[in-house]
Amino acid sequence: MKTYLGIELGSTRIKAVAVDEQLAPASSGDYTWKSTYENGIWTYSLDEVWTGLKAALSGLQNRETVAAMGVSAMMHGYLAFDENWNLLTPFRTWQNTITAQAAQRLTAEFGFNIPQRWSIAHLYQAVLNGEDHVPRIAHITTLAGYVHFMLTGVNAIGVGEASGMFPIDSETNDYDEEMLRKFEALTADQRWSIRELLPQVLVAGEFAGVLSDRGAALLDNLLAPGIPFAPAEGDAGTGMTATNAVAPRTGNVSAGTSIFSMVVLERPLKRVYPEIDLVTTPTGKAVAMVHCNNCTNDMNAWVGVLKEVANLFGAQPTTNELYTRLYQYSLLGEPDCGGVLTYNYLAGEGVTHLDEGRPMVVRRPDSAFTLANFLRSQLYATMSTLKIGMDILADEGVAIDSLTGHGGLFKTPVVGQKYMAAACNAPVTVMETAGEGGPYGMALLAAYMAEKNGMTLEQFLSSRVFASTKSVTLAPEPEDAAGFNAYLTRYKNGLAAQRTAVESI
């Protein structure tokens, strides 16, 4: 028996998924965690990384059968270390919108969109701020890159993950040389060169080290030393892999704490859009990414409140029962949510140019404020900002043959899928493995490294993994699409109220 292991450090869970020799999910374990807001920074404790990894691995069966593995995590963010890999400042996650000055300057200098959450924007903002740790920096990396290094001793990441740190040259599958030179000129007064700080770039299928004795000890020897590692990837790359969306004209939507779409491009975009990231697949193909910081967190908070109400009357529903029943009940709402409008902005949003957010539920006096309309509005809100970005790609003439959904929003059958089809006005497919998400995709990348035998990643996934995978495809219903468009028109018109709330509250 042989298994392949994928580990992903997501925004709400650290999860380990093992796949069997047929590359189907065989065993999993997880650990729940969450970010904290400390001194104006969204962060996670690196000590909890190891607590969570050990808890997730403890839930796996047959750990001695792991033939290859890999690490994935939330993309972007900023982890800065000295020459001995001592952390110099608390981890700054993708949620932070504190680098607007740096992002704008770099975008203008590079002629390439640099979003606020990218690692290079965080580094340059720290330089502009004159932060004390900057002269001592010897390495910067992502959360996946940090864990990979600690487990293997290899300071390298996959090209998809690297593309969220610094722009990638699609011909070399390495950091863009011209932009490296421009950044060196901007930071010529520093003791370091950006080339020295960034991790090495690898593509899917390449060997990225083995689990070291030190790495195994960090995991309390739950895994044996010597296991080969695939290149560490971000949750975007593993999401594309998990949904077989790595070829041109394919796309996927990952929806959980954040929501983002990935569309593999046939040609470059005509101009630079601040709402669109240009990243890559795990093999280096160009991808247009619409990333939104806010997705299900506000809905999660409301589910918690409704659970309290149920408990008040003596009912004790499980969390899964609550989500399933509430999601299904939203289907009874009107296609336009009866005029009920929700802004789920716990954090800022680059697509709508907000550095902070204030969750809001807004309605006119004549709106139909029912539970079903309220719940439907909450779920529409999870994808409204994404839709604004997707419309830019539509105007660019970007072709999408297939769009696949995965992540927590799609766990309840039909509901999230139905609304996403209405939002994108395109068929949306959900596979039977949709709930596994990123760690499953990372396990598949580990299997590809071990078994590729000359195949491209697209060939491997289509023939070896997804040839017989069950899936459900829903086409948009005209009434739903019209209702969502009416909701979105009100949503965009009401963004002025969201901006005023940020200024006033």
Q: Select from 397, 344, 332 the least CA-distant residue to 370.
A: 332
Strand partners, 92: 78
Structure tokens at 6: 């994928």
Which residues lie closer than 8 Å to 210 by C-beta, 6 or more apart? 152, 225, 226, 227, 228, 229
Gap between the Cα atoms of 137 and 351, Å rounded: 31
User: CA angle, corner 350, sides to 385 and 502, nearest 5?
Assistant: 90
pLDDT of residue 304: 95
pLDDT in tens, the chain (505 residues): 899 999 999 988 999 999 999 999 999 999 999 999 999 999 999 999 999 999 999 999 999 999 999 999 999 999 999 999 999 999 999 988 899 999 999 999 999 999 999 999 999 999 999 999 999 999 999 999 999 999 999 999 999 999 999 999 989 999 999 999 999 999 999 999 999 999 999 999 999 999 999 999 999 999 999 999 999 999 989 989 998 999 999 999 988 888 989 999 999 999 999 889 999 999 999 999 998 989 999 999 999 999 999 999 999 999 999 999 999 999 999 999 999 999 999 988 989 999 899 999 999 999 999 999 999 999 999 999 999 999 999 999 998 887 898 888 888 999 999 999 999 888 999 987 666 678 999 999 999 999 999 999 999 999 999 887 888 999 999 999 999 999 999 999 999 999 999 999 9
Q: Which residue has the tokens 């590809």?
A: 448
Q: Select from 86, 56, 97 the least CA-distant residue to 73.
A: 56
Give the C-alpha distances (Å, rounded to integers) separating 297 from 155, 180, 474. Answer: 33, 36, 25
Gap between the Cα atoms of 413 and 422, Å rounded: 15
Whether residue 384 contacts residue 337, with contact meaning beta carbons closer than 8 Å, is answered with no
pLDDT of residue 376: 98
3-state secondary structure of 224: coil
Gap between the Cα atoms of 247 and 391, Å rounded: 21
Q: Which residue has the tokens 């959360």?
A: 143
DSSP 404-456: EEESGGGSSTTHHHHHHHHHHTS-EEEETTTTTHHHHHHHHHHHHHHH-TT--
pLDDT per residue as tens digits for the range 329-370: 999 999 999 999 999 999 889 899 998 999 999 999 999 999
Residue 235 is classified by DSSP as: H
Task: Say which amino acid occupies 48.
Answer: E
Q: Select from 255, 258, 225, 265 the least CA-distant residue to 77.
A: 258
pLDDT of residue 435: 60
pLDDT per residue as tens digits for the range 11-25: 889 999 999 999 999
Structure tokens at 443: 């396990």
Q: Which residue has the tokens 């806010």?
A: 294
Burial class for 17, CB neighbours closer than 10 Å (0-12, 13-18, 19+): buried
